[in-house]
């Protein structure tokens, strides 16, 4: 019990004490907790966003409160419907269903506009004709104070008139702004008369050409939370310095209003961003990768977008596992990419049925198969679908004279510790027989084309042979996978590696593109796969997202790609079985 209490993170502790004190409703009422995820629809969601989504959704669920999805669509120049759609489907896939209808900041434009007029009337906002550069220069720096705009003392009437005409589209982009009148000498630069509206003569993806002015993020954000009754407005650390401004805006609106007319004042709390080694967790870089064709779209499996991870075969569960593993703190730290990979391995190890696939095939010929009789004879072998979990059942595969094995499982001149095939060496073919190599064939370039072996009929199922006369049992160290040549089909396998080679892409040269891994994608067009698994088998789990996932014995976790068809199956490698980056020390 104490342990559970101690492991609660600081935001849970804060909410617990709010509930006890009745900060948001009747003391003890947990259902008042209201959170939201407020993406800007200007790109696809990335891994970092999943941390915010899972935190907000998880808290609302834990307390029995509400979790909203709200699009912060206040910047018409960069936003598109495509991004709204992708964000919604990514959140659904993650299993973080929101309460009620999807919300849009643009639905509150009238509200925000009315409040801006209220500020003007209270002498707390003014129209400034200075250019953006002049305004920036006038802000000054932390050492010297700022300089008041020559337009700062415009009359309320003039401000109201100009603001209405800004809205009506009478002025050009950048010619005027509305600013809050706060303090040009504040030690917090955000309070030096921040912009609250700017002129943007661009069609908005939802409101069309209704508006010619758009609210600045800082003005809009806290007001959106207020309108929705968000109690705990959770955001990343870089917004800590903006909190006094959000508080100021709400206080300014409430100033002079009666108790009943007060608008809701959410409480903002900041937590650290998720950053991952070997990645750039920012839409800006991701957009460049897509626009300049360094990857094949936002859902390229090498991207750290949710859509990319999904296509790569990651499970929603692995993101929830990572989020809880990383926890919620106030310290910015870079999480190692391997940690995420280990989560998906852990999840898939439990849930993915096994299959046999040979990625780089060479033929193994059993020269004593059918000795003195039928060379085409086939034997049915029972293969477990999951070695640690009997509930997955088993399947039958055929074993015959000619098999596919991995090229890497044979060596012409193997070192002593190579426990697979070489002349005179014996291995176990998993769930098959033991085979011993006595010869091989190679082409003119020295590439091995066939490995010749004999099998031991007393090892059926891959089991140990009986003891000899002296009571000794023969042993083999290596077990390899295989496919019967006539029961294997050609499939395409896409092998992904990290997109960047550097832990902090772009750190050295200043350009992340310099650190791109040229070998991040390798396509194998003639890998071999069990023909019996082309269609979904009765024992295969029903993955919530419909994507089939397997562990290919000994080679990794794979999922079927959307490009896959009955004519040509396509698989993506989700993860290797082990962390090869750690081993190589790259």
Annotation says 147 is catalytic: no
Instruction: Evaluate whether 141 touches 192 at the Cβ level (below 8 Å).
Output: no
Contact pick of 52, 124, 328, 405 for ligand ATP (by CB under 6 A): 52
Tokens of 452: 């010749």
Least distance from ligand ATP to the Cβ atom of residue 586, Å: 24
Least distance from Mg ion to the Cβ atom of residue 283, Å: 8
Binding mask 203-242 for ligand ATP (x = CB under 6 A): --------------------------------xx------
Determine if 49 is a binding residue for ligand ATP (CB under 6 A): yes
230 binds, among Mg ion, ligand ATP, none (CB under 5 to 8 A by kind): none
What is the spatial distance between Cα 449 and Cα 364, in angstroms, rounded to a whole number? Answer: 9
Residue 304 parent element (H or E): none
Nearest to 382 by CA among 453, 462, 436: 462
Annotation says 583 is catalytic: no
Q: Which stretch binds ligand ATP (CB under 6 A): 25-33, 49-57, 306-314, 424-432?
A: 49-57
Least distance from ligand ATP to the Cβ atom of residue 275, Å: 6
152: burial class by Cβ within 10 Å (0-12, 13-18, 19+)? Answer: middle
Contact pick of 15, 32, 38, 146 for ligand ATP (by CB under 6 A): 38
480: burial class by Cβ within 10 Å (0-12, 13-18, 19+)? Answer: buried
Q: Which of residues 283-302 bind ligand ATP (CB under 6 A)?
A: 283
SS3 542: coil
Contact pick of 29, 40, 80, 129 for ligand ATP (by CB under 6 A): 40
Sheet holding 354-355, edge to edge: 354-355, 549-552, 556-560, 570-575, 488-496, 521-530, 357-358
Q: How many CB atoms lie within 10 A of CB 280?
A: 21
Instruction: Evaluate whether 102 touches 96 at the Cβ level (below 8 Å).
Output: no
Determine if 269 is a binding residue for ligand ATP (CB under 6 A): no
Between residues 72 and 487, which has the closer beta carbon with respect to ligand ATP? 72
Determine if 353 is a binding residue for ligand ATP (CB under 6 A): no
Comparing every residue's Cβ against Mg ion, the nearest one is 40
Number of residues that bind ligand ATP (CB under 6 A): 15
Q: Determine how β-strand 267-271 pairs with β-strand 483-484.
A: unpaired
Q: Which of residues 484-543 bind ligand ATP (CB under 6 A)?
A: none
Between residues 49 and 425, which has the closer beta carbon with respect to ligand ATP? 49
Q: Which of 8, 40, 88, 92 is catalytic?
A: 40
Annotation says 273 is catalytic: yes
51 binds, among Mg ion, ligand ATP, none (CB under 5 to 8 A by kind): ligand ATP
Between residues 56 and 315, which has the closer beta carbon with respect to ligand ATP? 56
What is the spatial distance between Cα 475 and Cα 479, in angstroms, rounded to a whole number? Answer: 11
What is the spatial distance between Cα 362 and Cα 233, in angstroms, rounded to a whole number? Answer: 59
What is the spatial distance between Cα 62 and Cα 12, in angstroms, rounded to a whole number? Answer: 10
Binding mask 1-40 for Mg ion (x = CB under 5 A): ---------------------------------------x
Q: Which stretch binds ligand ATP (CB under 6 A): 37-45, 75-83, 194-202, 471-479?
A: 37-45
* Ramachandran area for residue 26 (φ above 0: left; ψ -120 to 50: alpha; else beta): beta
SS3 260: helix
Task: Check residue 412 and report its DSSP letter.
Answer: S
The pair phi, psi for residue 219, each rounded to 5°, is -70, -45
Instruction: Supply the residues annotated as catalytic.
Output: 40, 273, 283
Q: Note the residues at the interface with ligand ATP (CB under 6 A).
A: 38-40, 46, 48-49, 51-52, 235-236, 273-274, 281-283
Q: Note the residues at the interface with Mg ion (CB under 5 A).
A: 40
């Amino acid at each position: 019990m104490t342990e559970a209490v101690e492991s609660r993170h600081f935001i849970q502790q804060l909410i617990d004490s709010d509930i006890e004190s009745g900060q948001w409703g009747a003391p003890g009422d947990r259902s008042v907790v209201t959170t939201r995820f407020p993406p800007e629809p200007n790109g696809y969601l990335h891994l970092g966003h999943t941390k915010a989504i899972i935190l907000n959704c998880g808290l609302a669920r834990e307390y029995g409160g509400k979790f909203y999805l709200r699009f912060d669509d206040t910047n018409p120049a960069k936003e598109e419907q495509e991004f709204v759609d992708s964000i919604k489907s990514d959140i659904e896939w993650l299993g973080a269903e929101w309460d009620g209808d999807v919300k849009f900041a643009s639905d509150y434009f009238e509200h925000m506009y009315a409040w801006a007029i209220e500020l003007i009337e209270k002498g707390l906002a003014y129209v400034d004709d200075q250019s953006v550069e002049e305004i920036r220069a006038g802000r000054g720096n932390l050492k010297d104070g700022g300089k008041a705009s020559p337009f700062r003392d415009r009359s309320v009437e003039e401000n109201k008139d100009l603001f209405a005409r800004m809205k009506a589209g009478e002025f050009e982009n950048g010619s005027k702004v509305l600013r809050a009148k706060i303090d040009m000498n504040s030690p917090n630069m955000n309070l030096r008369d921040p912009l609250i509206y700017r002129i943007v003569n661009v069609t908005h993806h939802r409101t069309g050409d209704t508006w010619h002015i758009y609210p600045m993020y800082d003005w809009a954000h806290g007001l959106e939370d207020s309108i929705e009754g968000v109690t705990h407005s959770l955001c990343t650390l870089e917004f800590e310095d903006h909190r006094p401004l959000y508080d100021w805006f709400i206080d300014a609106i409430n100033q002079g209003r009666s108790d009943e007319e007060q608008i809701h004042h959410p409480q903002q709390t900041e937590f650290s961003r998720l950053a991952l080694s070997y990645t750039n967790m920012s839409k800006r870089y991701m957009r460049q990768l897509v626009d300049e064709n360094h990857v094949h779209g936002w859902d390229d499996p090498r991207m750290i977008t949710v859509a990319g991870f999904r296509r790569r075969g990651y499970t929603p569960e692995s993101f929830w596992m990572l989020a809880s593993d990383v926890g919620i703190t106030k310290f910015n730290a870079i999480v190692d990419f391997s940690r995420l990979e280990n989560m998906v391995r852990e999840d898939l190890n439990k849930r993915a049925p096994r299959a046999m696939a040979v990625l780089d095939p060479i033929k193994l010929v059993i020269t004593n198969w059918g000795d003195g009789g039928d060379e085409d004879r086939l034997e049915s072998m029972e293969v477990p679908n999951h070695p640690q979990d009997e509930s997955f059942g088993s399947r039958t595969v055929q074993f015959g004279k000619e098999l596919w094995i991995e090229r890497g499982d044979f060596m012409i001149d193997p070192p002593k510790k190579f426990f697979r095939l070489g002349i005179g060496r014996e291995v176990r073919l998993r769930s098959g027989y033991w085979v011993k190599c006595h010869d091989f064939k190679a082409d003119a370039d020295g590439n091995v084309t066939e490995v010749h072996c004999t099998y031991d009929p007393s090892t059926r199922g891959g089991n140990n042979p009986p003891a000899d006369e002296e009571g000794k049992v023969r042993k083999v160290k290596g077990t390899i996978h295989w496919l019967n040549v006539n029961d294997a089909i050609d499939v395409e396998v896409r092998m992904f590696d990290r997109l960047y080679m550097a832990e902090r892409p772009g750190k050295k040269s200043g350009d992340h593109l310099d650190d791109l891994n040229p070998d991040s994608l390798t396509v194998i067009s003639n890998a071999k796969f069990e023909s019996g698994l082309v269609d979904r088998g009765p024992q295969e789990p029903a993955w919530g997202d419909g994507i089939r996932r397997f562990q290919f014995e000994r080679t990794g976790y794979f999922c079927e790609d959307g490009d896959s068809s009955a004519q040509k199956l396509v698989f993506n490698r989700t993860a290797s079985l082990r962390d090869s980056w750690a081993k190589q020390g790259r």
